[in-house]
Chains A and B, each alone.
Chain A
C-alpha cells in the first residue's frame, strides 16, 4: 500500500512539474517555490523528491534542460517543456480529469 501511495505521489508530482513548466523555463529552485505556492500544505513535496522527478522527466525526454545564469548570476540548470512533454501533459491532464470525475461521482452517490 505504501508503495502504491508513493507511486501515486510520484506520478502526481511529475504531472504538476509538467504543468508548471508550461508557463516557461524555470530552474529547480523556482519550481520548488511555485509548487509550495500552488499546493501549499496539501502535498508535502520536498526538494529531495523533486530533483529525482526532474531527472526522470528529462530521461523520458518530456522536459529538456540547459545551463544558464540565474538572477544572482550563479549558474543554474533551467528546465523547459518539450513538444513531447506538451503532448504528454495534455494526455495526463485529460486522464486525471476523467479519473477525478469518476471518483467524485462515486463519492457523491455514496
Chain B
C-alpha cells in the first residue's frame, strides 16, 4: 500500500468528520446544480429540488457506497465495536470485574510459572556452545555418578584426546575474620580456566585466568554477584582489595556476572584449585572430592569422550591396582541435564496445574457470558432486524470478549512479574538458574497467546449464541423461548461437567501429595529432635594439625558445655544427619579375600563419646565410645543395625573387625564394639545406609582436616535454645577465639527444612486445587441458580398443585447433582490416566490410591451439594401466586 493510501486511510479513521463533511459538500453541490438547472427550465423551487433528488437515484445509499469505497470499513466497525463493548461492560461492573479478575489471576499465574519454565527449562544455558558442555562423573562398582580424586583429574586433563578443556571444582569452607566473630563462608576451589571454558564474562574486574592456577602467583579470588551485593554492598572499589581467608591474603580480582551461579549455589567466592601444586596430586588413594565440567572438541560425541576417559581409568587401574579397583569408568552427562533435570517434572506439573485452573476459570466466564448474552437477546434481535449480518454480530460479541481479554491479560502480566519474585522468595530451596528468571519476549508472547486463547474459549459460545438469534421469535416472546433455553442449558451443563472433571483431577493430585507428605513426616529420623540444637563449628587448620589437638579441643569444650546449667547432654559429629553433605568411606570385612565385590560403602561419622546419648540414638548392643578409646588403645568403631543385619545376620558383630579406607595410604582395621540404631542421613525419604562411627581421638590424621573444616555440636537442653546458644558461644570464646560458628538451628528445624521443598510444592498445588474447587462450586451455583430463575413459573405451578417444598428442593438439588456426578465420573477416568505423571513426586502412595480418589470425590460432591442447595432453598420460597402471575 502506498504512502498516500495510508494517509487517506488514516484520515478516514481519525478525521472522520472532515471526510464526511467533504462528501456531504460534494453531493450537495451536485444536487444544487441540478436544482438550478431545473429552475432554469421553469420548475418551481419545490419541484426543482424534488426532481433533482429523484434523478439522483438514492442519496443515502450512494453515500453509504462512497463510505465503503474508503477501504476502512472493517477497521471503523472494529473501533465502533470496541467503544460499544466498553460501554456495555461499564454498564455491568459486576460481571466486568469478575471477568477481569478471573482472567488476571489465571493469566498471571500461568505467565508467572511459564516465565520460570522458560528461563529454567526452555532457554539455552548462558554459556558458549552449551551443547558441548558435559558434567563429569566417576562411575564406581558400588555407585554411579561419584566424585573423583585429584590425581584422577590430572590424568583426565593430561591424557584425554577428545576434550577441548576440562575444569574441576570442589567446595571449601573459608574463615573470614570479622570485628565480632570469625565467619565461615562457603566457597569453591575451581580450576582457574573454568570460566574461560564456560565462556563467562565478569561483571567487574576479571574472572580467574589459567595462570592463576600457578601457586607461585599471589592468591586471587572472585566473588559471586550476590555475595558482592549482600556482603559488600556492591562497592565498586572491592576489586583490588584483599580478603583475609583462612589466614592468608586473597586479592579480589573480579566479580562474576549477575545471572550466573557457581556449581554450589550457596558458594560466595571461588579461589583457584592449583592442582599441580596440591600435595594430594600423587596420592592415588586420596579422597574423592572433585567434580568437573568438560567441553567436547568440535565434532566429538558424548559417547566418544566417555569411552576416551574410561580408557584413561582403565590405564590407571593397570598401573595403580588397588586404589582403582572400584573405579569402573567415567560418565558424561550434558550440563543442561545435570543442572535442571531434577526440577523438570515438578515445573511441568505446576504449569499443567495452573493451566487447568485457567481453563476452569474460563469455563466459569463462558457460563457467565452465556447468561449475559441471553439477557441481551432483544438487543441482538433488533440489530438483526435493522440489517446487521450474523457475522457482524459475532464480531461485535467477540470484540467485547477481546476487551476483557486484553484488560485481564495486561493485568495478569503485571501480576506475573511481581508474583514470580514473590514465589521465588517463598521457595525454600533455590531453583537452578534462578538468577536467569525474568520476563522476555517469549514470556510476553505466552501471555498474549494465553489471553487470546482464554478470550476465544469464553467468548466463542456467547458469540455464536448471539448470531443464532431468531428475530421474530425473540421480538415476540418474553425472552424465554423454550428451544433456545434448552440449548443454552446444555452448553452450560457441559461447561460445569468440564469444570468438575478438571477440579477433581487437580484435587486428586493435591490429595496424593498431601498423603505423601504425611507419610514422609511420619518417618522416624532415628534420633530425638526435640529440645536439641546443632551448632556448626569450624576450626582454623593451623591450630589443629592432628587428631590429638582436635580431641583435646573437643574434650575441653565438652567439659565446659556439659557443666552449664540447663544442658542435658552434648556431643559432636563430623556430619549431622539431614544436613547437606555426605561423608562416605569404603570398608570391607576383615578376614575375607579381597575382590571388587567385597568392598562396600558406608556413611562415616567422627564422633565424641557422648554423641549417641546427645542425639538419643538407641544403643542396641555392646558399648558406645568412652575416654579409654584414645590414640594408644585398640582402634574401635561403632556400626548401625542395617550393617549388622547384612553382614552378621546371626548377630555376632561385636568383636568382629572391618577394614576401613579413611586415609590416603590404605585401609586399616578397626574393631566393632557397639551397634546403634539406624539414622536418616540424606533425607527422611532416603533408603537405609550402612553407618560407621569412629571416636575423634582415633581418626586418622589424614581425616582430621575434614573434621576441623566443619563439624556439628549437638546440645540437648532443658531451658531455651537462645540461652544455650549464648552460653555456648561464650564458652567457645574461652577455648578458642578463632573458631567460627555457622548454621545454628534446632534439630526440629533440620527435620522441617529437609521436607521444606516437598511442603512448598504441596502448598502451591493445594492453593491451585482449592481455587479450582471454588471456581467449580461457583459454576455449579451459577447454573443451578439460573435454572431456578428460569423455571420459577414451573416451580410455582408445582407448588400450587400440591408439591411439598422439600420435594421441590430435592428436585432442584437432584438436577445439579446429576451434572456433578457425570463430571466426577469423567474426572475419575481422567485422573486414573493422568496421575502417573506425578509418580516421581509421590512417596509411599501409588498414583491410583483408592482412598484418596474416594475421599476427594466425596469432598467434591459435598461441595457441589452445598452449592446447589443455596439456590434450591430459594426455589422453595417461591410464592406460587406471584410466579404464576408473571407467566
Contact = CB atoms under 8 A, between A and B. Distances in A.
A98 interface: no
Contacts of A32: 30
A99 interface: no
B57 A49 contact: yes
Nearest to B9: A59
Interface of A: 27-29, 32, 46-49, 51-52, 55-56, 58-59, 61, 67, 70, 72, 74-77
B485 interface: no
Nearest to A70: B29
Contact of A52 (B8, B22, B36, B65): B65
A48 B33 contact: no
A90 B61 CA distance: 31
Given A28-B26, A74-B29, A75-B25, A51 B70 contact: no
A29 B56 CA distance: 11
B69 A77 contact: no
A57 B205 CA distance: 68
13 contacts: A28-B30, A29-B34, A46-B56, A46-B57, A48-B57, A51-B26, A51-B62, A52-B62, A55-B65, A55-B70, A58-B69, A76-B26, A77-B22
B4 interface: yes
Contact of B62 (A29, A47, A67): A47
Interface in B20-55: 22, 25-27, 29-30, 32-34, 36, 55
Interface residues of B, number: 27
Given A46-B57, A47-B57, A59 B27 contact: no
B8 A59 contact: yes
Given A49-B62, A59-B70, A74 B57 contact: no
B66 A55 contact: yes
B59 interface: yes
Contacts of A51: 26-27, 30, 62, 65-66
A48 B69 contact: no
Contact of B71 (A29, A59, A74): A59
B69 A27 contact: no
Given A47-B57, A51-B27, A59-B70, 5 more contacts: A27-B29, A51-B62, A52-B65, A74-B32, A76-B26
Nearest to B56: A47
A33 B61 CA distance: 21
A74 B35 CA distance: 14
B58 interface: yes
B26 A77 contact: yes
Contacts of B66: 51-52, 55
A55 B61 CA distance: 14
Nearest to A44: B57
Nearest to A49: B57
B55 A47 contact: yes
A67 B26 CA distance: 10
The 4 closest A-B pairs by CB, nearest first: A46-B57, A48-B57, A52-B65, A55-B69
Contacts of B32: 74
B793 to A, nearest CB: 49
**Residue from the set A48, A49, A76 with the largest chain B CB neighbour count within 10 Å:** A48
Nearest to B4: A61
Contact of A48 (B4, B25, B36, B56): B56
Interface in B53-94: 55-59, 61-62, 65-66, 68-71
B69 A52 contact: yes
A36 B26 CA distance: 19
Interface of B: 2, 4-5, 8, 22, 25-27, 29-30, 32-34, 36, 55-59, 61-62, 65-66, 68-71
Nearest to B22: A77
Contact of A59 (B22, B59, B69): B69
Contacts of A28: 26, 29-30
Contacts of A70: 29
B497 to A, nearest CB: 47
Nearest to B26: A77
Contacts of B4: 61
Contacts of A61: 2, 4-5
Nearest to A52: B65
Which of A51, A72, A75: most chain B Cβ within 10 A? A51
Given A55-B69, A56-B69, A61-B2, A48 B29 contact: no
Nearest to A32: B30
Contacts of B33: 29
Contacts of B29: 27-29, 70, 74-77
A29 B34 CA distance: 8
A20 to B, nearest CB: 16
A79 B106 CA distance: 57
A52 B64 CA distance: 9
B868 to A, nearest CB: 56
Contacts of B27: 51
Contacts of A74: 29, 32
Contact of A46 (B8, B36, B55, B69): B55
Contacts of B34: 29, 47
A76 B70 CA distance: 19
A10 B22 CA distance: 23
Nearest to B31: A47
Identify the interface centre among B22, B33, B58, B59: most chain A CB within 10 Å of its CB. B33
A58 B68 CA distance: 12
Contact of A29 (B22, B30, B61, B69): B30
Contacts of B25: 75, 77
A47 B30 contact: yes
B255 to A, nearest CB: 61
B371 to A, nearest CB: 41
Contacts of B70: 55, 59
A89 to B, nearest CB: 19
A35 to B, nearest CB: 13
Contacts of B65: 51-52, 55
B595 to A, nearest CB: 93
A27 B801 CA distance: 79
Nearest to B29: A76
B115 to A, nearest CB: 46
A77 B5 CA distance: 18
Contacts of A72: 36
B335 to A, nearest CB: 59
A7 to B, nearest CB: 14
A45 B22 CA distance: 23
Contacts of A75: 25, 29
Contacts of B62: 47-49, 51-52
Contacts of B55: 46-47
A26 B69 CA distance: 20
A55 B8 CA distance: 12
Nearest to B61: A48
Given A55-B69, A59-B71, A48 B59 contact: yes
A55 B2 CA distance: 17
A93 to B, nearest CB: 23
A28 B27 CA distance: 9
A72 B762 CA distance: 86
A12 B292 CA distance: 82
Contacts of A76: 26, 29
Contacts of A56: 69
Contacts of A59: 5, 8, 69-71
Contacts of B2: 61
